[in-house]
Amino acid sequence: MAVPLTSTSEALFARAREVTPGGVNSPVRAFNAVGGTPRFIRSASGPRLTDVDGNEYVDLICSWGPMLLGHGHPAVLEAVQAAVSRGTSYGTPTEGEVALVEAIVARTPVERLRLVTSGTEATMSAIRLARGFTGRDVVVKFAGCYHGHVDSLLAAAGSGLTTFSIPGTPGVPASSTELTLVLPYNDREAVAAAFAEHGDRIACLITEAAPGNMGVVPPAPGFNQFLAETCRAHGALFISDEVMTGFRVSKAGQWGTDGAVEGWVPDLMTFGKVMGGGFPAAAFGGRADVMSHLAPEGPVYQAGTLAGNPVATAAGLATLSAATDEVYARLDVVADALRAGVAETFTAAGLPHVIQSTGSMFSVFLTEAPVTNFAQAQATSVPAYAALFHSMLDQGVHLPPSAFEAWFVSSSHDDRAVQQVLDALPAAARAAAAAGFEARRGAPRTSTTEEV
Ligand SMILES: Cc1ncc(COP(=O)(O)O)c(C=O)c1O
């Protein structure tokens, strides 16, 4: 199923590059990490994408997380069509917003929630609120955790663990990151040292509830609880970013999976992706006393023209309502089958690999040893992943076009789709093994250039 050189995707990519930087509206879509031409998608249904050349792919991107139920789920389409028929945006409060917020409050420990339109807005607003609430300025984050393209979080670690950061991209002034501390993930000592030195200045620590943006790197047992306790001991707020994990790894996200067991409750949480059902909707929320500092109740300003958009809230509510226990059980079945297939075929091909999971979200690292932080993720083989990716694509399976991403499944991935992926794996594993095991060359990536 190789795409001919004169494909419509190639023609569209050439056209797009004339008018849009890199030809795409979000960097990872450009295939820079794997080479080649991105497939321009014309339509999607259930677990499948169809490109403009008529090629079909089993979709393991799922829009980078939102499509929990697959593409074109009937209940979501029905809700969206009904919403659209009533108008698309009013700029006034609606019943749909209340219902979506109630649904999220019912599933998570948040007491109050504010809707926004992207995960970036959610984390940016949560940090502003944490600073406004505590009257402190310093923010702690982890290398390899991505929280959207918020200036203060586009930071690369400084020269020492407890020193402040430098901008991770041109365009971010040093003044935006000089109050950000970037620490290695899963490293309790680094966290303790940073709080020992700067504790009385730290407004908040933000972490992915279970990182998926350096590939899936689960928190060590008790790590989130340790973070919550450390924050509490120093009067800082603990922000758990569940934009990716929320309503995907379980009905309540990562908090519902291990927080309820380990006993960590975030002061603030951020959500996105699944809660918008494929439309731009995201949220931040948490403790009522903290959220009451937000305008118009309190002094911390935050707003949005399309926040709580009626079409997006209808899609989000329909998605959450349809996300039953059976849906999560199916996600596990699909992910288990794919993980088992990868393990078997990669082992047979002599391809070193480590599969890491948080619920049904998983990553296949082409490396020998488990990955617990960003530095280790960077040491995995990028050329081998590119070979794997292209072989799978040629066989009709669309993996994420980057070695540092989660593979996402949906409840619409039926046995036929799963089998198609399994059938494609042996040839792809041989191609990856032939591509070799060079680790990433050149300057290490900063935690800021996680691409979405
Ligand atoms: C954990 C996490 N936080 C925040 C974001 C930013 O969300 P958005 O792309 O909607 O701005 C992402 C996006 O991938 C994410 O994975």
Query: What does the pLDDT read at residue 448?
Result: 38
Q: Do the domain assignments include residue 1?
A: no
Q: Determine the Cα–Cα distance for residues 450 and 452; give it in Å rounded to an integer.
A: 7
Ligand 1 touching residue 280 (CB < 6 A): no
Ligand 1 touching residue 49 (CB < 6 A): no
Residue 210 shares a structural domain with residue 230: yes
Contact by Cβ (8 Å): 372, 391: no
Residue 281 shares a structural domain with residue 352: no
Q: Do the domain assignments include residue 403?
A: yes
Q: Do the domain assignments include residue 244?
A: yes
Strand partners, 208: 241
Residues 205, 211, 215, 220: what is their CA dihedral angle, to the nearest 10 degrees?
Answer: 100
Predicted TM-score of the model (pTM): 0.95
Query: What does the pLDDT read at residue 423?
Result: 98
Average pLDDT of the residues in 353-373: 96
Q: What are phi and psi of 140, to 5 degrees?
A: -110, 135
Q: Which of 442, 445, 440 is nearest to 365 (CA)?
A: 440
The whole domain housing 385 covers 8-60+324-449
Contact by Cβ (8 Å): 365, 371: yes
pLDDT score of 107 more than 70: yes
Q: What is the pLDDT of residues 252-285, one digit of tens each?
A: 999 999 999 999 999 999 999 999 999 999 999 9
Residue 36 shares a structural domain with residue 119: no
Ligand 1 touching residue 433 (CB < 6 A): no
Q: What is the pLDDT of residues 380-408, one digit of tens each?
A: 888 999 999 999 999 999 999 999 999 99
Residue 143 shares a structural domain with residue 238: yes
Q: Do the domain assignments include residue 220?
A: yes
Residue 317 shares a structural domain with residue 328: no
Ligand 1 touching residue 147 (CB < 6 A): yes
* CA 123 to ligand 1: nearest atom: 4
Q: What is the pLDDT of residues 1-38, one digit of tens each?
A: 555 557 899 999 999 999 999 999 999 999 999 999 99
Ligand 1 touching residue 120 (CB < 6 A): yes
Q: Rounded to the nearest whole angstrom, what is the distance from the C-alpha of residue 246 to the centroid of ligand 1?
A: 11
Radius of gyration of the chain (CA): 21
Ligand 1 touching residue 384 (CB < 6 A): no
State the pairing for strand pair 268-271/138-142: unpaired
Q: Which of 50, 47, 103 is nearest to 73 (CA)?
A: 47
Please list the active-site residues: 146, 241, 273
Query: What does the pLDDT read at residue 51?
Result: 98
Q: What is the pLDDT of residues 176-209, one digit of tens each?
A: 999 999 999 999 999 999 999 999 999 999 999 9
Give the amino acid at 435: A
196 CB neighbour count, 10 Å cutoff: 11
Return the residue whose CA atom lies nearest to atom 3 of ligand 1. 147
What CATH number is given to the structural domain containing 49? 3.90.1150.10
Q: What are phi and psi of 177, to 5 degrees?
A: -110, -5
DSSP string covering 335-398: HHHHHHHHHHHHHHTT---EEEEETTEEEEE-SSS---SHHHHHTSBHHHHHHHHHHHHHTTEE
Q: What is the pLDDT of residues 52-69, one digit of tens each?
A: 999 999 999 999 999 999
350 CB neighbour count, 10 Å cutoff: 9
What CATH number is given to the structural domain containing 284? 3.40.640.10
pLDDT score of 447 more than 60: no
78 CB neighbour count, 10 Å cutoff: 12
- Dig out the tokens for 332 from the structure: 């596990």
Query: What does the pLDDT read at residue 213?
Result: 96
Residue 37 burial (C-beta neighbours within 10 Å; 0-12, 13-18, 19+): middle
Residue 302 shares a structural domain with residue 395: no
Q: What is the pLDDT of residues 283-306, one digit of tens each?
A: 999 999 999 999 999 999 999 999
Q: Is the peptide bond before 296 cis (omega within 30 degrees of 0)?
A: yes
Residue 212 shares a structural domain with residue 158: yes
Q: Rounded to the nearest whole angstrom, what is the distance from the C-alpha of residue 31 to the centroid of ligand 1?
A: 19
pLDDT score of 441 more than 60: no
Q: Rounded to the nearest whole angstrom, what is the distance from the C-alpha of residue 147 to the centroid of ligand 1?
A: 5
Quickly list H helices, 90-156. 95-107, 119-134
Q: Determine the Cα–Cα distance for residues 186 and 222; give it in Å rounded to an integer.
A: 10
* CA 273 to ligand 1: nearest atom: 10
Q: Which of 38, 46, 72 is nearest to 278 (CA)?
A: 72
Residue 313 shares a structural domain with residue 387: no
Contacts of 344 (CB under 8 A, 6+ apart): none
- Of 298, 322, 346, the residue that ends a domain is 322
Query: What does the pLDDT read at residue 1?
Result: 54
pLDDT band with cut points at 50, 70 and 90 for residue 444 = very low
Q: What is the domain count for the chain?
A: 2
* CA 280 to ligand 1: nearest atom: 10
Query: What does the pLDDT read at residue 381?
Result: 83
* CA 118 to ligand 1: nearest atom: 10
Q: Rounded to the nearest whole angstrom, what is the distance from the C-alpha of residue 154 to the centroid of ligand 1?
A: 13
Q: Do the domain assignments include residue 312?
A: yes
pLDDT band with cut points at 50, 70 and 90 for residue 158 = confident
Residue 264 shares a structural domain with residue 140: yes
Strand partners, 183: 142
- Of 303, 322, 341, the residue that ends a domain is 322
- Of 291, 322, 353, the residue that ends a domain is 322
Ligand 1 touching residue 450 (CB < 6 A): no
Q: Which of 26, 213, 216, 404 has most ligand 1 atoms within 8 Å of CB, for mutation?
A: 213
Ligand 1 touching residue 451 (CB < 6 A): no
Q: Which of 146, 151, 374, 448 has most ligand 1 atoms within 8 Å of CB, for mutation?
A: 146
Higher pLDDT, 78 or 158: 78
Query: What does the pLDDT read at residue 436?
Result: 75
Q: Rounded to the nearest whole angstrom, what is the distance from the C-alpha of residue 64 to the centroid of ligand 1?
A: 9
Query: What does the pLDDT read at residue 438?
Result: 56
Q: With pLDDT > 70 as the criterion, what percentage of the chain qualifies?
A: 95
Q: Do the domain assignments include residue 68?
A: no
Q: Rounded to the nearest whole angstrom, what is the distance from the C-alpha of residue 121 to the centroid of ligand 1?
A: 9
> What value does the mean pLDDT of the chain take?
94
Q: What is the pLDDT of residues 316-330, one digit of tens each?
A: 999 999 999 999 999
pLDDT score of 333 more than 80: yes
For residue 261, the number of C-alpha atoms closer than 13 Å in the C-beta half-sphere is 8
253 CB neighbour count, 10 Å cutoff: 28
Helices and strands, counts by H and E, the chain: 15, 15
Residue 96 shares a structural domain with residue 14: no
Quickly list H helices, 250-291. 253-254, 260-262, 288-291
State the pairing for strand pair 282-286/268-271: antiparallel
Ligand 1 touching residue 154 (CB < 6 A): no
Q: Rounded to the nearest whole angstrom, what is the distance from the C-alpha of residue 7 to the centroid of ligand 1?
A: 31
Residue 99 shares a structural domain with residue 204: yes
- Kindly list the distances between the CA atom of residue 40 and the CA atoms of 57, 420, 450, in Å, as whole numbers in the listed order: 12, 21, 22
Q: Do the domain assignments include residue 137?
A: yes
Residue 183 shares a structural domain with residue 316: yes
Ligand 1 touching residue 118 (CB < 6 A): yes
Average pLDDT of the residues in 72-95: 98
Give the amino acid at 155: A
Q: Do the domain assignments include residue 204?
A: yes
